[in-house]
Structure 1
Amino acid sequence: MSSANPSSTPSEPSAALDLTVGPVDLTEALCNIESVSGDEKRIADAVETALRAYSHLEVTRLGNNVVARTNLGRESRVVIAGHLDTVPIAQNLPVQRIVKDGKECLWGRGTVDMKGGAAVQLVLAAELNRPNQDVTWCFYENEEVDSELNGLGIIARTQPDLLEGDFAILCEPSSAGIEGGCNGTLRVIVTTKGIAAHSARAWMGENAIHAAAPILARLAAYEPHTVTVDGLDYRESMNAVSITGGIAGNVIPDHCEVKVNYRFAPSHTPDEALAHVRELFAGFNVEVDDIAPGARPGLDSPRAQDFARVVLERSGTQPAPKYGWTDVARFAELGLPAVNFGPGNAIYAHRDDEHCPTDQIQTCYEVLKSWLK
């Protein structure tokens, strides 16, 4: 759980949210509450306070995670989730309204990743007191940082009953279309060893950085696959993401590490992905730095197919694959089919010029409202 933070001092006025202003205005309001990962208390307080005003919702607070549920005894339940944190601010707050490519956009940190989706959730949570199925609205912390801090993971470990359901929607940016599942991710450290020596007598040593050349050559020659999983094509990738070695400008390095990130199709297990990487780097020491399974598209469930039909009718888009890792994988581990569906183009997530077309925010709101009514 996040600890108290400097921006949540008693002297700072608490944020207030009006859930009746509509999803676009609410997106702007949410973005203007700074909530960099680890600093979500103020926004979580505002979300909790706003949701507790609605008697049809049962609200639970766990750390800086807020879960609001309807309990109408419906035959099915959907979990609709989104995170409250952002990456650090880059002089891109407060939010501005701009026109880009002829469309009105909200410009600023969080507009894409992912307070537009959170705003849609909040407006609908307030409006829909008699949805056609029970709904669990989940708002969580620390998605943008280390996995063990992730609020959705904390809920799953400590109070998993709050995430029970038949289908899940994660409001991550997907340009207002469904993106099914996600690739898995594996990061390994490939190590070479050498013998240290003075660089003036290089022949007395063995250069560990030079010894890494075959690693880079294998990566440069690697041809990633595109794997079809349940009708969606997932592009894989294998890349060096960092290389480190050497202790001084006059010392032959005796140690070098190349970090490699493999994004693998959700049809592969983490063990299969690791075996593939070890085979590629045969002859080198390979250590796992981080690994997370992917998630299959989740579109074979009746609820997912029904939702996809509404999205197609409203936005004209067919489901596509999600290449990056998202928390749909956590839902998959819980046995819950899940899809990504939210406003904003993920290409602009984390960028200084992050911006989201307002019509996408409105489309997501209308699609979910139509489906839930």
Structure 2
Amino acid sequence: MTSTLVELTRDLVSIPSHDDAAVAGDFLEGWLRRETDADVTRDDAGNVIARKGTGAETLALVGHHDVVEPAPSQVADGSDDTEATEYVVDERDGRLYGRGTADMKGALAAALLAFREADPAGELVFASFVGEEVGGVGAQYAIERGFAPDYAVVGEGSTNYSGPDVTDVAVAHKGRRGSTITARGTAAHASEADAGENAIYRATAAVDRVRDLEPPSVGVTGETLEGRLTVTEIEGGSAMNVVPARCEFTVDERTVPGERAALESVADLEGIEWMVDQDLPPMRCDDDAFADAVLEAATAAQTADPELVTKPHATDAGWLSQAGTECVIYGPSEPGEAHTDDESVSIEVLERCLETYRRVAREWPTTR
């Protein structure tokens, strides 16, 4: 089975899917139709969804087949050509190297094989979304059109969180809200500064308001998940001798389940406008039985002792959780592997994920 998992991962990783994920979607759809008797659909966004089994409750194995832009070394001809027809995939020292190995086509390959082999306890779904790397557009599209599994295992990275050589079960992660705050004033010549209203001064007051806000925190599985507010960019003014009429800055906000910082209060200041540019929701699993069941399967699939952990960044699990799906994250990617020029994944950990997905698909939902 190892060679099958490695070969399937290699096949998926070799397909470029940073600008357009259609060919990778073609591969997934074709494989599912050939290798399974599942009901396979491909929606207008490009999401690939397959269903098998019956039952009152639905479990989904979820991933995405888009990736971020590769480095030149990850393209077959070693060029900067964004129209590359193939990505490089190398195997050495027990790892597969290439764009998408860790994030997250290795996990997709494991989920495909587990889905094919499963005789599920209820309805089992395989779902691979597009557009995760640009804010979860595929997941949102599917959810808006009725995609609503009761439970989901999302194959994003959860390896080496509690310690080395262990694949943990993440039961919560932060979200991200990105905002632009614009200060408006009235231009004037700097020699007659009192004739104008200085937008930079107003922006400074707004920055102070942001810095004074208390980000919320929540306790999850013995850990504290802490929010954060960070001013990240600022731009304003037109010339050294002109009182600026406009100044703009951005705020990166890491959100936690259930609470938000009162960032909207900056708009109470004179001359200040607040606009949300991106809002990726956080995730928290509130079904202890499901989290424990996945943890039990993960423990049986490895010699280490995995734990329930949290992740610092957003995934498609946030969109699913917001829509009512109980989610956990379990996947091979390790901290620092995704989006790198030497991205890689451990073959041993891929096997571990495959075995865990098999066990969860076979045993959940349980009769409760």
TM-score interval, smaller chain: 0.7 to 0.9
3-state DSSP of counterpart to 1:330: helix
In the alignment, which residue of structure 1 is the partner of 2:139? 152
Q: 1:36 to 1:278 in 2, by over 3 A?
A: same
In the alignment, which residue of structure 1 is the partner of 2:65? 84
Scaled by the length of structure 1, the TM-score of the pair is 0.80
1:97, 1:105 within 8 Å by CA — same for their partners in 2? yes
2:114, 2:361 within 8 Å by CA — same for their partners in 1? no
Q: How far 1:111 moved relative to its partner?
A: 1.6
In the alignment, which residue of structure 2 is the partner of 1:330? 319
1:277 equivalent among 254, 260, 263:
263
In the alignment, which residue of structure 2 is the partner of 1:50? 31
Q: Which moved more, 1:209-218 or 1:285-294?
A: 209-218
2:346 equivalent among 353, 357, 360:
357
Q: Aligned partner of 1:166: which letter? A: D
Q: 1:80 to 1:263 in 2, by over 3 A?
A: same
In the alignment, which residue of structure 1 is the partner of 2:82? none
**1:194 equivalent in alignment to 2:197:** no
In 2: Cα distance, 1:97 partner to 1:20 partner: 13
Q: Which moved more, 1:291-300 or 1:326-335?
A: 291-300
2:180, 2:250 within 8 Å by CA — same for their partners in 1? yes
Q: What value does the CA root-mean-square deviation take over the aligned residues?
A: 2.8
In 2: Cα distance, 1:221 partner to 1:105 partner: 46
In the alignment, which residue of structure 1 is the partner of 2:78? none
In 1: Cα distance, 2:193 partner to 2:89 partner: 56
**1:168 equivalent in alignment to 2:168:** no
User: Over residues 277-334 of structure 1, what are the superposed CA-to-partner deviations in whole Å (9 max), with x where a residue is unaligned?
Assistant: 234775262423133432222342x333211222234341111112212222222233
**1:137 equivalent in alignment to 2:118:** no
1:264 equivalent among 251, 255, 266:
255
- Give ranges in structure 2 of 5+ residues lacking alignment: 76-87, 160-166, 363-368
**1:293 equivalent in alignment to 2:281:** yes
Q: How far 1:51 moved relative to its partner?
A: 0.7
1:169, 1:338 within 8 Å by CA — same for their partners in 2? yes
Scaled by the length of structure 2, the TM-score of the pair is 0.81
Q: Which moved more, 1:303-312 or 1:215-224?
A: 215-224
1:297, 1:321 within 8 Å by CA — same for their partners in 2? no
In 2: Cα distance, 1:238 partner to 1:371 partner: 37
User: Over residues 41-62 of structure 1, what are the superposed CA-to-partner deviations in whole Å (9 max), with x where a residue is unaligned?
Assistant: 1111111111101343111111
Alignment of 1:1-373 (within 5 A): 21-37=3-19, 39-63=20-44, 64-71=46-53, 73-74=54-55, 76-91=57-72, 92-93=74-75, 94-99=88-93, 104-128=94-118, 130-147=119-136, 150-158=137-145, 160=146, 163-175=147-159, 176-198=167-189, 205-217=196-208, 219=210, 224=215, 226-229=217-220, 231-248=222-239, 251-268=242-259, 273=260, 276-279=262-265, 283=269, 285-289=272-276, 290-300=278-288, 302-315=289-302, 316-373=305-362
Q: Aligned partner of 1:244: which letter? A: E
Paired positions, count: 337
1:107, 1:353 within 8 Å by CA — same for their partners in 2? yes
